[in-house]
Chains A and B, each alone.
Chain A
């Protein structure tokens, strides 16, 4: 029975496998796109939007206050996790700085200490000055800062993504946007 020449059934087996391969490749396209949807959707900053934090008058000049906003991209099962906190510093007038609470080291929530004028991180001891620049500890850069503008007396920031140090943590100089 087994010969070097290809039998009809042997050919059919090979063709059948090829057919399966073609079907698998066709199915792999939607599966891969489904798996990578959270990555591809985020291209071109699609996750980012301008969100209001509240009237400028609610932030006293020269002080830093905690503000919260709802992340612009919401899924039905998100619960409280889409409520995000940020530190709002009103320097004077319409000059604002809005910092992510996430430490630039590993993302733990930093806390503002008005008396010592420092942001401190509870995890690995990172500290930042009131303008967000690095003061001490393991972070390689200052706090993440959201692009900020004041529209009709309302403080608005561009937000939507979890700020992370990224591959160039050490190279980041001053204040790249959060995204």
Chain B
């Protein structure tokens, strides 16, 4: 025991770090900040440290080469003892880190902690968020599988839309003319050296500023921030009603950090590592690429935006969002901190959360994508063929053979790209159906060149039978009138 103390004293005589560290951990904080609401920042830092450790562990085996990355991931998953677990920890750690950074940001926003004098802490935080997302995207690329390959293709397609410099930006991003070994190498350099280096520096500054400026006090409705008086008020608060950060508040951070690590480990253990999916071989076109969950909302947005808005939105949208986040502390650097007095702030958070959540949910089943294997799937349900004529049955065959069910559901099976056809005859008349099939329209391609007149006749004959029993199909009233006129002038053989 004495030996340890003497060793520490020997070290500190030379390092002289004990006093500043003690001062930092024991600095007084307002008592009401010892709250479970204040643990997300330290939890994000904890997961970041976990990512550093597991990242280094993965780098012991992983090979950042276009030819071998995928195989080295397979080796990690199947050959190396607990390789799968380290991959799973790193993968789930990244999900948790994105989530924790976002939760931390929302908490800071709602508690008004970005206001004077903590503007720069917030700005560094915005960069930390961007870097976290950058780590998430580059990490997804290092999992060099089909999703990573085509994800890079999507990234390149977006980058190519930059006015004037587009093609150059693409080549700079890919490190060559195509997605290949050089692309992986530069994303490896970004993921392992550049962004983590910046992250460590920014995290250090971010934490340093929390220590220097003091943790944001619990916001009280009516206690308004003013530049002239805030610092004095804060010091009065910490000296009158303060408590040392350690141990008064820190125990909650410590417990939550352990809980988060346990949750990451539990997810890793229960759900295992992410991928890799198929080999990154661009000659395999039978693939349905999808991004990781934190970019799913973007995937949905890119389907649902009108084409003409896409490029401006992709290029200007992120810039506007980032500038808005950076300007926030300057636009509302003073005033109320409490969310109880800031309804617009609360509504903004709710709106963004609902929009992101909805887009993410939509992207999970991607109703805008054709079902690429529907043609080999279920047959036309029997009930649609009961009592059908030969022509209608022929139409059902055309319906099946021309893969209409890639996009249209019948009897609840098939794509969701186009409308469900179970009751289409109630919505469209025979003439409208013929026109729609031949000329297309809305989002439907024209099939005129691909169907013979006999096939179109048969197909439409089948489609007009698609209405629930007891409910009549749509009809063109003017045609009835025309037929009646005709009936008056000359007799017809059939009604």
Contact = CB atoms under 8 A, between A and B. Distances in A.
Contacts of A21: none
Contacts of B450: 116-118, 130
Given A108-B150, A116-B402, A136 B440 contact: yes
**CB-based closest 6 A-B pairs:** A79-B67, A77-B181, A135-B445, A164-B160, A107-B153, A47-B177
A125 B178 CA distance: 24
Interface residues of B, number: 74
A11 to B, nearest CB: 34
A88 interface: no
Given A108-B150, A164-B170, A75 B443 contact: no
B178 A81 contact: yes
9 contacts: A74-B180, A79-B66, A79-B67, A102-B157, A110-B285, A121-B369, A135-B446, A164-B166, A170-B307
Interface in A123-142: 123-125, 127, 129-130, 135-140
Interface in B282-299: 282-289, 299
Instruction: Give chain A's interface residue range (CB within 8 Å of chain B).
Output: 35 or more
B157 to A, nearest CB: 4
A8 interface: no
Given A38-B182, A81-B280, A124 B369 contact: yes
Nearest to B162: A167
Interface in B33-72: 65-68, 70
Contact of A123 (B161, B181, B289, B305): B289
A89 B280 CA distance: 25
Nearest to B163: A167
A114 B406 CA distance: 13
Contact of B170 (A110, A137, A162): A162
B446 A166 contact: no
Interface of B: 65-68, 70, 149-150, 153-154, 156-164, 166-168, 170-172, 174-182, 184-185, 279-289, 299, 302-303, 305, 307-308, 310-311, 368-370, 372, 375, 401-404, 406, 417, 440, 442-447, 449-450
A172 B303 CA distance: 20
A111 interface: yes
Contacts of B176: 38, 47, 73, 75
B377 to A, nearest CB: 14
A162 B178 contact: yes
Contact of A169 (B66, B287, B311): B311
B445 A127 contact: yes
B309 to A, nearest CB: 10
Contacts of B66: 75, 77-81
Contacts of A77: 65-68, 181-182, 184-185
A54 interface: no
Nearest to B68: A79
A116 B447 contact: yes
Contacts of B404: 116
A56 interface: no
A80 B67 contact: yes
Contact of B153 (A106, A122, A140): A106
A19 B156 CA distance: 40
B370 A38 contact: no
